[in-house]
């Protein structure tokens, strides 16, 4: 059994693969549950954007921890992208083919473009993209901005708001769905394959009539493990 863990800003996203298939998955913010989930894993590949949390995972797990092999991805980028964004490219190549755009809707929303590598030795070229605030964070920032604003269940409204809650939801629709749409236009998404992932990805995918794969990042991690072995 091979384990893949995607360490995000909020949760640990865990998967167990056997015979090239994802057999079990779990998302949690508790390290005790992470340890229990991976108790029988032989090796674990770690995708992390939070070094401090990765160090904790390395301390609590008995299995061999393998760092994500970023060397598999060609970078057309001026800084170091998060490993989850790189794994998404591998997942997209296997899932929908390249060129592709992946919209990953979690604590933040990343919108990234991928293509076939122009040099040998790489699996995918990461071309860059955009980062937006996530759905939960958007609502937290709006409702915390004024004491008279009610706490609102995150969601969207695509018609005129007639009360404060609906006005906030229309604002979220314009800011996030509208923002994603504008960025996708910049990325020329109509000439690329589009897919959504992340905890809130299904909500957004419905506005674009695009496929959604909740496990895209984990699947990309498993591809990286196999290619690096």
CA distance 26 to 34: 8
pLDDT at residue 12, rounded to an integer: 96
pLDDT at residue 148, rounded to an integer: 58
Q: What is the pLDDT of residues 3-55, one digit of tens each?
A: 999 999 889 999 999 999 999 999 999 999 999 999 999 899 999 989 999 99
Long-range contacts of residues 128-134, Cβ cutoff 8 Å, at least 24 apart? 128/76, 128/77, 128/81, 129/85, 129/101, 129/183, 129/187, 130/183, 130/186, 132/108, 132/176, 132/179, 132/180, 132/183, 133/108, 133/109, 133/176, 134/105, 134/106, 134/107, 134/108, 134/109, 134/200
For residue 166, pLDDT over 80 is answered with yes
The domain 70-135+170-228 is classified under which CATH number: 1.10.1200.10, 3.40.228.10, 3.30.420.40, 3.30.1490.270? 3.30.420.40
Q: Where are the domains of the chain?
A: 2-67, 70-135+170-228
Q: What is the pLDDT of residues 79-138, one digit of tens each?
A: 999 999 999 999 999 999 999 999 999 999 999 999 999 999 999 999 999 999 999 999
DSSP states of 70-88: GGGEEE-SSS---HHHHHH
Q: Which residue has the tokens 């299904």?
A: 202
2-67 and 70-135+170-228 share one fold: yes
Model confidence at 149, pLDDT cuts 50, 70, 90, reads: low
Q: Which fold has domain 2-67?
A: Nucleotidyltransferase; domain 5 (3.30.420)
């Amino acid at each position: 059994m091979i384990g893949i863990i995607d360490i995000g800003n909020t949760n640990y996203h865990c998967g167990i693969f056997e015979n090239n298939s994802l057999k079990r998955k779990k998302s949690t913010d508790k390290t005790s549950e992470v340890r229990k989930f991976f108790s029988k894993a032989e090796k674990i590949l770690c995708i992390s954007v939070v070094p401090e949390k990765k160090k904790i995972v390395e301390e609590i797990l008995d299995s061999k921890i393998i760092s994500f092999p970023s060397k598999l991805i060609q970078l057309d980028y001026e800084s170091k992208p998060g490993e989850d964004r790189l794994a998404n490219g591998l997942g997209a190549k296997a899932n929908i083919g390249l060129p592709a755009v992946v919209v990953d809707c979690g604590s933040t929303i990343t919108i990234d473009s991928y293509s076939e590598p122009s040099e040998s030795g790489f699996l995918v070229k990461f071309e860059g993209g955009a980062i937006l605030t996530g759905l939960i964070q958007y609502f937290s920032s709006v409702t915390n901005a004024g004491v008279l604003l009610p706490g609102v269940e995150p969601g969207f409204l695509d018609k005129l708001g007639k009360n404060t809650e609906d006005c906030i939801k229309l604002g979220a629709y314009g800011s996030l769905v509208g923002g994603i749409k504008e960025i996708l236009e910049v990325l020329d998404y109509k000439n690329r394959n589009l897919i959504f992932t992340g905890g809130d990805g299904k909500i957004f995918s419905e506005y674009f009539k695009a496929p959604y794969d909740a496990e895209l990042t984990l699947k990309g991690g498993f591809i990286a493990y196999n290619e690096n072995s």
